[in-house]
Structure 1
Amino acid sequence: MRDGTGNRHVILSGCSGGGKSTLLAELRRRGFATVEEPGRRIVAEEMRGEGRALPWVDLAAFARRAIDLAHRDRDAVAQAPGWVFFDRGLVDATIALEHAIGKPASCSLSGTARFHRQVFLVPPWPEIYRQDGERQQDLAAGVEEYNRLCDALPRLGYAPVILPRTDVETRADIVLGCLR
């Protein structure tokens, strides 16, 4: 059953390198609308330019860009039928901005329709974690980020659902089962 607001927008979040993008691809394969992670798109664009809003250069600037892009993403899929799955997005970017500036930034969420109350988190998974040109943080930093998400989501009114470390098909089945 959907949450009380009837919201169809669902966040996939958690540890970097924990399998979010793979899960998003599986949900897309099953016919659901999906929205790619803002952060990776911003990093790719910044690396082609001056690189001032890279998370390892200026986390606050990066988070602010991610918030802006996440708002645009949300607007772009506002009329999509059925469930829409977001790889990170607005709530993650707001939590990153809070961390970067050292004070609550939940004003980034004000005036925004809520997402589905359940946020699906992929936990740290050292066996599949890989750094690349767009993911330069190490696993320890990814775990710190994951812990911040776990702490902040309930404060923002969301219910984290931690997905098991298992194959992507099973993860997708769990997500869809929770949303029934």
Structure 2
Amino acid sequence: MEKIKRILLIGGPGSGKTTLIHAIEQAGYTVHHEISRMVTQRAQEQGIDQLFLEDPMAFSNELLKGRIEQFESASSGINFYDRGIPDVPAYHKFTDDPIPESYQDASEKYQYDAVFYLPPWKEIYQSDNERYESYDQAVTIGSILAHYYQDLKYEIIEVPKTSVEKRLEFILKHVSID
């Protein structure tokens, strides 16, 4: 049976994670897409404009549940994730909300094999209906995420600011199934 390997992409909003995860998927790898937009859109369909702002705990609980499901649904071989379980408590650090012990426990229980950090990149940053953060906030979030993962003893691999193709090549050079 082939081993399961979980590779995580992290970074602040607008750093190119989603574009890169699509390129990884196009290259034939298994990907687990970011679910925060889905949670936000589902809430908007129920009349809640920004669930993250209006009920941060409900939003976080939905994210944590979804990300644990993604983690557990990994198939054999290499699995790539657009954001991970520890992103949930890290965002609580950004909003200065208390971090439930269950969030910390989940972050320690579910371990990824490698974490790639996409740094803030002003030239590609865009806001939209689901991304309400300013660029400066995105920079702060990126820093908090990187530090939170480091506090969990992950080695963070920074992805260079270059073309999508070169970012993909960079990541694939660092990833192998043992």
User: Is TM (by shorter chain) over 0.5?
Assistant: yes
| Amino acid across the alignment from 1:109 | S
Q: Residues 130 and 11 (structure 1 numbering): CA distance in 2 closer, same or farther, change over 3 Å?
A: same
2-structure distance, mates of 1:51, 1:68: 20
Aligned residues: 171
Equivalent of residue 133 in structure 2, options 122, 132, 137: 137
| Amino acid across the alignment from 1:174 | F
Partner SS state of residue 80, structure 2: strand
Equivalent of residue 90 in structure 1, options 85, 89, 105: 85
Partner SS state of residue 116, structure 2: strand
Q: Which residue of 1 aligns with 2:34?
A: 37
Equivalent of residue 122 in structure 1, options 114, 118, 125: 118
TM superposition shift of 1:158: 1.0
TM superposition shift of 1:159: 1.1
Equivalent of residue 159 in structure 2, options 156, 163, 166: 163
Q: Which residue of 2 aligns with 1:154?
A: 150
Q: Residues 60 and 97 (structure 1 numbering): CA distance in 2 closer, same or farther, change over 3 Å?
A: farther
Identity of aligned residues (%): 24
Q: Residues 24 and 160 (structure 1 numbering): CA distance in 2 closer, same or farther, change over 3 Å?
A: same
TM superposition shift of 1:27: 0.6
1-structure distance, mates of 2:126, 2:168: 22
Q: Which residue of 2 aligns with 1:107?
A: 105
Consecutive aligned runs of 4 or more in structure 1 exceeding 6 Å deviation: none
- 1:53/1:59 contact within 8 Å kept: no
User: Does residue 178 of structure 1 match 2:170?
Assistant: no
- 2:86/2:148 contact within 8 Å kept: no
